[in-house]
Structure 1
Amino acid sequence: MDILLIAGLWLDASAWDGVVPELAALGHRPVPVDLPGQGDGSGSATLDDQVAAVLAAVDAAPGKCLVVGHSAACSLAWLAADARPRRVAGVVLVGGFPAGDGQPYADFFEHRDGVMPFPGWDPFEGPDSADLDERARERFAAAAIPVPEGVGKGVVRLTDDRRFDVPVLVVCPEFTPDQARGWIAAGDVPELARARHVGFADLDSGHWPMTTRPVELARLVAGAARG
């Protein structure tokens, strides 16, 4: 099965370099998605541009595909399920949850000169970054790609209720499955509260398991591909 891999904020497709060979060894075809504005030098990209790139990858798959979104890109994965409910076999959400219709995609941090730069490690102290040593943090910060304002402030639009029939696996790295279930039950994640097939998988890592636990993450993703 084709497995589309969508990285979160400040990352390009190379974020999945540790996961790709593991998925291939497990018999799948991993496809890291190049997002406009995150690695192609375009500072004017919009959320619509990124959605179009994801949908192009879905449409290029020979059959149904699994769509994996990390962090903010969980919303991109969910947008793919909304736009192509018959083509998406399932969605894997790694360390994040989908935004609802009418909500901003990722307006989390200060924008400067038309982009949202990596804000440094202070907002991520604690469980998010506990498994990253100083060298890994330095590498991440040096490679971080400022996210175009048109992406971060883009508005999510969901239109097809058939997305709620697409199976979802929530991979819980810096939080636990019980915490995720609690947030959904409390109404903090309305999209998943309406989804009909939601599973949870615990992964003992920080917010970027594709870097620190690629083998374990690949196995969880492959399990979701098997259904």
Structure 2
Amino acid sequence: MTEFVLVAGAWLGSWAWDEVVPELRAAGHGTHPLTLSGLADRQGVPAGQQTHVQDIVDEVVGHDLRDVVLVGHSYSGIPTGQAAERIGDRLARVVFVDSNVPADGESFVSGWPDGRAMVEASIAKNGGFWAPLTTADCDGQGLTGEQIARIVGGSTPHPGATLTEPAVLAHPLGELPATYIKCLLDGAEPSDDVAALLTGERWRLVTMDTGHWPMFSQPRELARILLDAAG
């Protein structure tokens, strides 16, 4: 039995996986949707990036999980990638869902130069938090009006320190067994850093004909891809 630890991206919590979890459980696997510190039902908990890494490690080690598939979406690919190397032989695979990936010594904002000023301005203006998603942010991503309302309605301010603190990796990320899911409505090609990792023997690419939030727009298809990755 595979144990899936599911970590949604910025502004979101464990609730984002509500339509994916039943599909994984129906296939006989364990599911652990995770809310990171400072978000959703854990608002008010102080958090930096290493806090989020530790949240994921604690979920795995605290429940003594084995044969673990770590799933990181969007921003959460950064802490998930770091946690993947820290859980050692508990890891079966890491799956990055249209996500950023960590680079040692680099932060979320340093890996996103075009948007860095925008993110940092939002953090400064909003008391140390990245302002939540708006309806306009979700346009063109294959979502229904109802799905957009769910995402925007459930979004909470994202702790700014998690976006500006650097990642810490002991080994090259390409050494991890990994699947990268590229959502084509959010850009036809992976970023340059991901493309470089995909040239290695341990990484493989899967594409989805949907937008950046496939757990809402295509939850069954996403679950199928996760099951394939675990297999």
Report TM bin, short chain: 0.7 to 0.9
1:210 has 2:215 as partner: yes
* CA shift in 2, pair 1:106/1:217, >3 Å: farther
Which secondary structure does the structure 2 equivalent of 1:200 belong to? strand
Unaligned runs of 5+ in 1: none
Q: CA RMSD in A?
A: 2.4
Q: Tell me by how many angstroms 1:66 deviates.
A: 0.7
Which secondary structure does the structure 2 equivalent of 1:50 belong to? helix
Q: What is the TM-score of this pair, normalised by structure 2? A: 0.84
Q: Tell me by how many angstroms 1:124 deviates.
A: 4.8
Do the aligned residues in 2 keep the contact of 1:88 with 1:166 (CA within 8 Å)?
no
Equivalent residue for 1:78, pick from 77, 81, 106: 81
**Sequence identity of aligned pairs in percent?**
27
Cα distance in 1, alignment partners of residues 151 and 137 from structure 2: 15
Which string of whole-angstrom CA distances, capped at 9 and with x for unpartnered residues, describes residues 81-111 of structure 1?
A: 2222322111111112303111113575221
Cα distance in 2, alignment partners of residues 178 and 140 from structure 1: 23
Q: What is the TM-score of this pair, normalised by structure 1? A: 0.85
User: Which letter maps to 1:63?
Assistant: R
Aligned match of 2:37: 36
Q: Tell me by how many angstroms 1:156 deviates.
A: 1.0
Cα distance in 2, alignment partners of residues 133 and 68 from structure 1: 24
Q: Tell me by how many angstroms 1:113 deviates.
A: 1.0
Aligned match of 1:219: 224
Structure 1 residues 184-195: aligned runs within 5 Å: 184=192, 188-189=193-194, 192=197, 195=200
Structure number with higher helix proportion: 2
Which piece of structure 1 moves more, 194-203 or 211-220?
194-203
Structure 1 residues 146-165: aligned runs within 5 Å: 146-161=157-172, 163-165=173-175
Which string of whole-angstrom CA distances, capped at 9 and with x for unpartnered residues, describes residues 2-51 of structure 1?
A: 11100100100010010001001112111111211112122532212111
Which string of whole-angstrom CA distances, capped at 9 and with x for unpartnered residues, describes residues 138-180 of structure 1?
A: 332222110011222222111134x533211111223599723
Do the aligned residues in 1 keep the contact of 2:100 with 2:108 (CA within 8 Å)?
no
Equivalent residue for 2:53, pick from 51, 54, 57: 51
User: Which letter maps to 1:198?
Assistant: W
Cα distance in 1, alignment partners of residues 212 and 64 from structure 2: 28
